[in-house]
């Protein structure tokens, strides 16, 4: 007999998207970070929002535990081994009908014209005072074709933003009178 067979109680977790039996990380992250089941491919919005349909975003945004904690005066952060604008971490701060809208470069023109924001932009605008953000995905925060600091000669690591915004510099400017620091390597992190 296994130790788990000796447990006095057993529970069942039902993991699914509202429109798919086998879930993706966007919908499941929305479920565990916001407490709401969601459609496949959407982050931080209820099941009333339809994937890739920008006009279904407004009014269907859901609040995450990150926001609740920040509003309660707690220190909050996102630490991930993937891009900070990937589906799982982004459900804590973003409201997007498409998990793949990492920067404005990945969004259709009609979504941009309708006022939908890309996920990287939402990281800096939706909850502007997150205390710690650690992870990848910086290319989605820099203007298109901006060379990466670590891989300057590798085109796939270059910035992707069509709006020419440098979200990292905007954040640094906003943190000028605070204790915020942007670091991208171990030496900077440890200093």
Tokens of 189: 């992190």
Per-residue DSSP letter, 53: -
**81 known ligand binder:** no
**Count of alpha carbons within 13 Å of 12, Cβ hemisphere only?**
2
CB neighbours of residue 54 within 10 Å: 22
- Residue 46 a catalytic site member: no
* Most distant pair of Cα atoms in the chain: their distance: 62
| Pair 90, 84: CB distance under 8 Å | yes
**86 known ligand binder:** yes
Per-residue DSSP letter, 97: S
Tokens of 179: 């204790």
- DSSP for 142-187 reads SBTTPPPSS-TT-GGGS--BTT---HHHHHHHHTTTTT-----SHH
| Pair 44, 67: CB distance under 8 Å | no
- Of the residues 25, 64, 92, 96, only one is catalytic, namely 25
Q: Which amino acids are annotated as binding site for Mg(2+), given as ranges?
A: 86, 88
Q: Please list the active-site residues.
A: 25
């Amino acid at each position: 007999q296994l130790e788990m067979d000796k447990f006095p109680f057993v529970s069942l977790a039902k993991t699914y998207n509202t429109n798919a039996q086998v879930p993706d990380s966007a919908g499941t992250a929305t479920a565990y970070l916001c407490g709401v089941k969601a459609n496949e491919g959407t982050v931080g919005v209820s099941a009333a929002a339809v994937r890739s349909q920008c006009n279904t975003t407004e009014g269907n945004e859901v609040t995450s535990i990150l926001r609740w904690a920040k509003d309660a005066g707690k220190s909050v952060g996102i630490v991930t081994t993937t891009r900070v604008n990937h589906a799982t971490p982004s459900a804590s701060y973003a409201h997007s009908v498409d998990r793949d809208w990492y920067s404005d470069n990945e969004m259709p023109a009609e979504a941009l014209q309708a006022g939908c924001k890309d996920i990287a932009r939402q990281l800096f605008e939706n909850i502007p005072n997150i205390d710690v953000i650690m992870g990848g995905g910086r290319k989605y925060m820099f203007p298109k074709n901006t060379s990466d600091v670590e891989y300057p000669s590798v085109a796939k690591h270059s910035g992707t933003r069509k709006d020419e915004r440098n979200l990292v510099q905007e954040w640094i400017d906003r943190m000028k009178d605070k204790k915020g620091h942007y670091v991208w390597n171990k030496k900077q992190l440890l200093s």
